[in-house]
A and B are shown apart, each in its own frame.
Chain A
Amino acid sequence: MDAPRQPTNVTEHHRSPIEHETTSHSTDHADERYRIVTEQLSVYFDGKPAIRDVSMVIRTNKVTAIIGPSGCGKSTFLRALNRLHEIQPNARVSGRILLDGEDIMSMDATLVRRRIGMVFQKPNPFPAMSIFDNVVAGLRFNGVRKRSVLAEIAEEALRRAALWDEVKDRLRAPATSLSGGQQQRLCIARALAIEPEVLLMDEPTSALDPIATAKIEELIYELKRSYTIVVVTHNMQQAARVSDYTAFMYLGELVEFDKTRNIFTNPSKRQTEEYITGRFG
């Protein structure tokens, strides 16, 4: 169950450590290592572009961080990946997003969202529901009714979200009775319960205290073994700590995208360097 859904034809060569890879996207089998590929992705609100022509790749079983100053479009990019912009009538998306090589626009939106889960900035457990009901909401409301199955998956998801030991004796308690950090891990468990391939995290720790933040970061590190993770953060230390790859966005455009180590030690663009060293943003 923990096994990531790797494309079946991945060979040992393609699983080789990322360090040995070339940065070129042009190899024939590139998509197999890339869980998500965006091509010229633009999002407009009321006709005004919020992100423009973002082409980047999300590597399988890696943590990709997206950093940049407020309003640079990092959340907008993230929400395009699970087609969440569609609920806003004034939003328009252009370009292509490929999930395992398949265009998500040609898939059913609910199926896309089941494969690409999301954790939000503010912990948002469903009100008037217990801890248990929150974790299994994605299953139950998609037709999974069997009690034993729900209980089993709930426990597993809560364990993976490192919350099980804290809540196992009060699964019937309201989700809102948990602390902020616990609520956020509950939301992670809720997202994991439907077994997505990708987990999008939109500033998942910005509403949490340092201890809760550390727990979530630890968790991200654990989860990347089984999931592909994209995390938006305005906390550069966090990006440096948890991610393998980092994208720097500014004014709606992707400025630089590289291994996290390179971005933070040897950025190739002046803007990136200025942002990272705190000279603007």
Chain B
Amino acid sequence: MERRLIFSRSTDVRRRITSIITLAMVALATAIVLVPLIAVVWYTVGEGIAGLTWEFFTHLPTPVGESGGGMANAIVGSGIVVGLASVVAVPVGIAAAIFITEYASARLASAIRFVTEIMLGLPSILLGIFTYAVLVKPMGRFSAYAGALALSIVMLPIVIKTTEEILRLVPQHIREAGLALGIPQWVVVLRIVLRAAVRGILTGVLLSVARAAGETAPLLFTALNNRFWHSGLDQPIATLPVQIFTYAVAPYDDWHRQAWAGALVLIALVLVLSIVLRLVVSRTQLDSEQ
């Protein structure tokens, strides 16, 4: 009996060609994504490395017209403003995510989730204007606090969203196992569920910190800028993004070089922070609390 040919040779060839084309398109798309990313980092390193002098890290900006000087105040200032913002946004965001996943009714949870998603989409300059209206105006001056508030509003929805998604990934039977041991629900959430999710939550926190560290618009009319060391957290403060912006639009070559160096430092700081936090977590994760 003759074997029936279900798949003709031509179908086979067509299938192979389709496969090759599909693979090529997917690879091309990946390349298109990677090229700008690598180009940005490459270009920033190329332009910025020259400006990375000891003076850059240790000195204040010099008066206009003089060359030299550094961004010491802006590096410290970014640390302070982003740090303050994190102190507010990270605990509040994680707590909100816990409320949504562990306690809220389905309707309330989806309502909060909706609001969070809208917040994620708000233009960051709007958050700056908002902070200007509620904090800068009443206080009568720009301040580190105002900058931190604006950045914390930027961070909050990111922390909530990522934490919530990670908490949802913790299987329900883990919670049941905790409750079945007679452990109160809030302890189950804080000591068992959060612990299982800590890596993922950290990723979300890092994402939000990285985002906040690079934000310029919300700082323009909240933290403003300062060519000197800040004289208090209720005073204007220099930050890297704003300093980069100021130097980049100025007509001096020396400032341009420093702006690139500042951008490079910004990228490096976020990278270092994420490596350090990851190391800390993987160290402590299995050590029992004593």
A 118-151 to B, binary, CB cutoff 8 A, 1 in contact else 0: 1010101011111011000110011000010000
Complex contact B183–A110 (CB within 8 A):
yes
In the complex, the chain B residue whose C-beta lies closest to that of A145 is B290
Task: Tell me the bound Cα distance from A172 to B174 in angstroms.
Answer: 20
Complex contact B285–A128 (CB within 8 A):
yes
Check B192 for interface membership: any CB of A closer than 8 A. Answer: yes
The listed residue with most A CB atoms (<10 A of its CB), out of B106, B181, B185, B285, is: B181
Q: Give the number of chain A interface residues (Cβ < 8 Å).
A: 32
* Residues of the A chain whose Cβ atoms lie less than 8 Å from the Cβ of B183: 110, 137-138, 141-142
Q: Which of A120, A142, A194 contacts B173 (CB 8 A)?
A: A120
- Which applies to chain B's interface (DSSP): helix, strand, loop or mixed? helix
Nearest-CB distance from A220 to chain B (Å)?
Answer: 18
Complex contact B182–A127 (CB within 8 A):
no
Task: Tell me the bound Cα distance from A133 to B181 in angstroms.
Answer: 13
Task: Tell me the bound Cα distance from A112 to B184 in angstroms.
Answer: 12
Complex contact B180–A87 (CB within 8 A):
no
Check B133 for interface membership: any CB of A closer than 8 A. Answer: no
Q: Which of B178, B184, B286 contacts A172 (CB 8 A)?
A: B286
- A120 touching B181 in the complex, CB below 8 Å, given contacts A128-B286, A174-B286: no
Check A82 for interface membership: any CB of B closer than 8 A. Answer: yes
* Residues of the B chain whose Cβ atoms lie less than 8 Å from the Cβ of A132: 288
Complex contact A190–B181 (CB within 8 A):
yes
Nearest-CB distance from A203 to chain B (Å)?
Answer: 13
Nearest-CB distance from A130 to chain B (Å)?
Answer: 6
Complex contact B175–A113 (CB within 8 A):
no
Nearest-CB distance from B77 to chain A (Å)?
Answer: 36
In the complex, the chain A residue whose C-beta lies closest to that of B182 is A114
Check B87 for interface membership: any CB of A closer than 8 A. Answer: no
Complex contact B179–A84 (CB within 8 A):
yes
Task: Tell me the bound Cα distance from A114 to B184 in angstroms.
Answer: 11
Q: Which of B180, B187, B196 contacts A141 (CB 8 A)?
A: B187
Complex contact B178–A141 (CB within 8 A):
yes
Task: Tell me the bound Cα distance from A212 to B187 in angstroms.
Answer: 32
Complex contact A87–B181 (CB within 8 A):
no
Nearest-CB distance from B190 to chain A (Å)?
Answer: 9
Q: Which of A89, A110, A126 contacts B177 (CB 8 A)?
A: A126
Check B198 for interface membership: any CB of A closer than 8 A. Answer: yes
- A124 touching B177 in the complex, CB below 8 Å, given contacts A129-B195, A174-B286: yes
In the complex, the chain B residue whose C-beta lies closest to that of A112 is B182
* Residues of the B chain whose Cβ atoms lie less than 8 Å from the Cβ of A89: 105-106
* Residues of the B chain whose Cβ atoms lie less than 8 Å from the Cβ of A194: 181-182
In the complex, the chain A residue whose C-beta lies closest to that of B176 is A84
- A84 touching B105 in the complex, CB below 8 Å, given contacts A122-B173, A132-B288: no
**Other than the known A111-B182, A142-B182, what 20 A-B pairs have Cβ atoms closer than 8 Å?**
A82-B180, A87-B176, A89-B106, A114-B181, A117-B181, A124-B176, A126-B192, A127-B174, A127-B195, A128-B195, A129-B288, A130-B286, A137-B181, A141-B187, A141-B192, A142-B187, A147-B290, A190-B181, A191-B180, A194-B182
11 A-B contacts (beta carbon < 8 Å): A84-B180, A89-B105, A113-B181, A113-B182, A120-B176, A124-B171, A128-B198, A129-B288, A132-B288, A137-B192, A141-B183
Q: Which 8 A-B pairs have the closest CB atoms?
A: A114-B182, A138-B181, A118-B180, A113-B182, A127-B196, A141-B183, A110-B182, A124-B177
Give the B-binding residues of A (Cβ under 8 A). 82, 84, 87, 89, 110-114, 117-118, 120, 122, 124, 126-130, 132-133, 137-138, 141-142, 147, 172, 174, 187, 190-191, 194
